[in-house]
Each structure stands twice: as C-alpha cells, then as structure tokens.
Structure 1
Amino acid sequence: MSAPPVFQQALGPAWDRLGDVIRRHYTMAPFSDDYVCVRGTMSEVWHAPWAALLMPFGRLFGALVPHQGTQVPIEVHYRCRPDNAHLYWDRVFHFPNRPPFHFRSHMEHDAAQGSEVIEYVRFGIGMRLAVSAEDGALVFRDKGYIWRLAGLRIPLPLGLLLGTAYVEERPDPTDPDHFTMKMLLRHRWFGDVFRYSGRFRLGSQ
C-alpha cells in the first residue's frame, strides 16, 4: 500500500478540509514517479530595494527569486521519486528578456513534529513550516531555519535578516480548476522583504 501524500501526512484528517483543486495537485504518492504541473501568471514578483544585497547568497543557495516584474508567466513542476518520500518542486519564472529562472526545492514531512514540513534548498539549508488547512486553503507558516549537516539539524538565525514567511494556496471560487497563491517574507522592523502572488490552473497533464 502506498504512503499518503506529504501534505496529507502533515495535515492528517484536516486534509479533507482542503479545497478540491488543492488536494488534486498534491495527491502524489511518495516512493513513486508521480508528476503534476500547474501553469499560471504571477501578478507581482517583488523585493525591497535593500534585499538586492542578499541576492548573491540567494542564488548560491537557490533560495530567492532575484528578478522583479508583473504578469510573469510561470509553471510549477511537482514530482515524487521512487527512491524517497520527498516532494520536489521546480518553479520556472519567465521574466521578459531573461532566461527562465528556476527556483528548485524539496519538501519532507517532519514526522516528529506532526503538522510540520521542512523545505530544503541547496547545501542542506531548510525552512521549517507549520502546515494547516484554513477555509479550504493550504497555509504554511515559518517556524525557523535550519542547516542539516552530518545528520544534525542546526538552527540558523536567518529570520533576523530575512523576516518570517507566510505562504498560502487558496481555491478560486470562480473556477474549480484554478487556485491563487501568495508568498510573503516580512521583517518585524523593515516591513516586506519579498513577496509574490499569482493565479494558477490545474489542467490535464
């Protein structure tokens, strides 16, 4: 019997409270070659002017989108792999007059914390995220950064610089095959650091 999807593991019974379009694009079994792609448009991709100083580090770790724009076409590829239980993401942003920008990461369910997942980018840098189902939406709230090294999870105080992340994916009430998403990194003193938002379609693959 196959294991339940990563977010179903994290949410437990609350999985059934997600909107149908949200469940459908995350119903991928760990230890499989399941694949889903959604396509859409980012109405805004933005970062604070001073955040440009962080971009060299962001590009090194594959963690930040270095460009800005409006009405940016995007596709997001989700896949599982037969050799592990992780969920892999490849977000491909199409900024005008630039090569496609890939933001890649993978998510693991943290069984010890129940409703948490960890999103990892390069070199073992991860963000702990509490997962919840709220009014049909899948919501992620930042619980801090870690560095996975030699089997250890070392807390990192990156939130002092980057702020706290909030992400949601919410069913579009006007169309059963569409959903909206937004991501916000907000610093308690400096305000918004990064944000992007858009609308996506889940269609036949």
Structure 2
Amino acid sequence: MPSIYELALGDDFARLHPKIRERFGFSSADGIASFGAGVMDRIWHAKWAVLPLALGATRNIMFPQSGRSVPFKIANYAYRDELGRETVTWNRAFQFADARRRFEATMIYSGERGRIVDYLGNRQHLAVDLDLAVAPNGGIRIRSGEQRFYEGPLGFRFPSVCTGIAEVCEWYDDDAACYRITVAVRHPIAGPVFAYEGAFQAAFKTMSASAIPIGAKPLRLERRE
C-alpha cells in the first residue's frame, strides 16, 4: 500500500532522497512507526502573535515560546482511522526550560481534493490543504493552502487574508548523517509569524495498530475534509 505522501507526489516520490523516502514512505500496512529526537537550533515567534499562538497552544497548534537549542521529539504513527482513512500522525514535542509544548497534527490523503489534508491540533477543528514538492536537495517541501474550520454543524473556509501560509522543508544531511527541518509561517499582510529549524535523528519501530497509544490520536474525529 503506498503512503499518503507517495499518493500526493506520484512519480516524483522516487526523486526524494532515500532517507526521506523511508520516512515518508510507510503506511498502516507496514506495521511500523517512526520516532525522532534532536534539537531545534532556533524557535521564534512574532511579538504581535502571542495571543493567537497562546490560543492555538490550548489545542496543541504552535505556541508562544521562543528559544535556542530546544530539545525536540517527534512521533509518526500510520493507521486507518475510524472512517477508514489512511492517517499519519505528526506529534511534536518541544522542551523549553519552563514549559513543554506540543504541536500535533494528523494527515490524510483526500481523493476528492487530490491532495493531503492536514488536521492541525488534537481535535481536528482546523483542516489545511497541503501542496507537496521535491526540493533540489532531495528533501520534501510542504506548503499550506486553503484552511477550513469545523465544529459541530459549523463549517467554513477562512479568507486567505485571515490565515498564515506555512512553508516546511525536511531533508537528509548526508555529511552530518541527520534529518534537518525548517518551518516558517508567514501572514500575507503582517509578515513572519512563527518559525523553527533544527536537526534530528529518526528510527523505526515495529508497531501494530492496536499498540499505538490512545494519546497519540486526536481527541475528536472530523469526517469533513
């Protein structure tokens, strides 16, 4: 079974660095999970964005902390959710001196939209379309697109002027033998909002669907994509 990233990239998936293909190439059929640990060299946020970031932190979506040399962990589990959708978790933890912050998401491939949909946070209230591409260095580039909010019967699309655009690149550094990542969120009018960059190591572990910790999955499931 192809991974959701292979479905999104099609033939371009083969152009990724072998280590990136490995990290983005497993599905629920493989019975494995990926665990990473490293250090984010720099985490930054705009001072004006403290309030919206603090609100997002209540749902494990970004956070109003900045720092350097911040210990980092990430867990990626692949499973089929209760709606039968192939799903991959992105459970990130950042250990600051005075707080531990989480940034969580679950991604699915939407056949209807022809792309990956990223549900940000631990309640899947915010759905974001993702565009994927292969970087010149064999890394994977991810850019956010349309964003939608869902809560009970409520559902609406955010105007582009009200949302930030996220640019992510993850690649493998052969010289340092580690994965590297850069993340930057920018508002189309107000400018830079949030960013981090750093390096980590990752390894795979055998993991059946029944062994995935319940806390690794979202607290609420949204069927709308």
Q: Same fold by TM (over 0.5)?
A: yes
Please, what TM-score do these two structures have when normalized by structure 2? 0.79
| Partner amino acid, structure 2, of 1:38 | G
Contact 2:164/2:186 (8 A) holds in 1? yes
Q: What are the within-5 Å matches in structure 2 for residues 100-115 of structure 1?
A: 100-114=100-114
Contact 1:45/1:70 (8 A) holds in 2? yes
Per-residue CA deviation, residues 150-198 of structure 1 (Å, 9 max, x unaligned), is 79963122x42442111111221414x4121111111233221111111
Which residue of structure 2 aligns with residue 156 of structure 1?
158
Which residue of structure 2 aligns with residue 53 of structure 1?
51
Moved more, 25-34 or 143-152: 143-152
Which residue of structure 1 aligns with residue 67 of structure 2?
69
Give the Cα–Cα distance (whole angstroms) in 2 for the partners of residues 82 and 142 of structure 1: 23
Do residues 95 (structure 1) and 113 (structure 2) align?
no
Do residues 187 (structure 1) and 187 (structure 2) align?
yes
Give the Cα–Cα distance (whole angstroms) in 2 for the partners of residues 37 and 153 of structure 1: 34
Contact 2:39/2:198 (8 A) holds in 1? yes
Give the Cα–Cα distance (whole angstroms) in 1 for the partners of residues 202 and 64 of structure 2: 26
Contact 2:34/2:204 (8 A) holds in 1? no
Question: Following TM superposition, by how much is the alpha carbon of 1:42 offset from its aligned partner in structure 2, in angstroms?
Answer: 0.5
Contact 1:73/1:93 (8 A) holds in 2? yes
Per-residue CA deviation, residues 3-42 of structure 1 (Å, 9 max, x unaligned), is 2111011111111111111111122213564211111110
Contact 2:54/2:63 (8 A) holds in 1? no
Question: Following TM superposition, by how much is the alpha carbon of 1:148 offset from its aligned partner in structure 2, in angstroms?
Answer: 4.0
Which residue of structure 2 aligns with residue 178 of structure 1?
178
Structure 1 unmatched ranges of 5 or more: none
Do residues 147 (structure 1) and 149 (structure 2) align?
yes
Contact 2:182/2:195 (8 A) holds in 1? yes
Moved more, 182-191 or 71-80: 182-191
Which residue of structure 1 aligns with residue 132 of structure 2?
131
Question: Following TM superposition, by how much is the alpha carbon of 1:61 offset from its aligned partner in structure 2, in angstroms?
Answer: 3.2
Give the Cα–Cα distance (whole angstroms) in 2 for the partners of residues 163 and 56 of structure 1: 15
Give RMSD over aligned pairs.
Answer: 2.2
Contact 2:165/2:187 (8 A) holds in 1? yes
Question: Following TM superposition, by how much is the alpha carbon of 1:142 offset from its aligned partner in structure 2, in angstroms?
Answer: 1.6
Contact 1:127/1:143 (8 A) holds in 2? yes
Q: Which runs of 4+ in 1 moved over 6 A?
A: 150-153
Which residue of structure 2 aligns with residue 117 of structure 1?
116
Residue 200 of structure 2 aligns to a residue in which SS?
strand
Count of residue pairs the alignment pairs up:
199
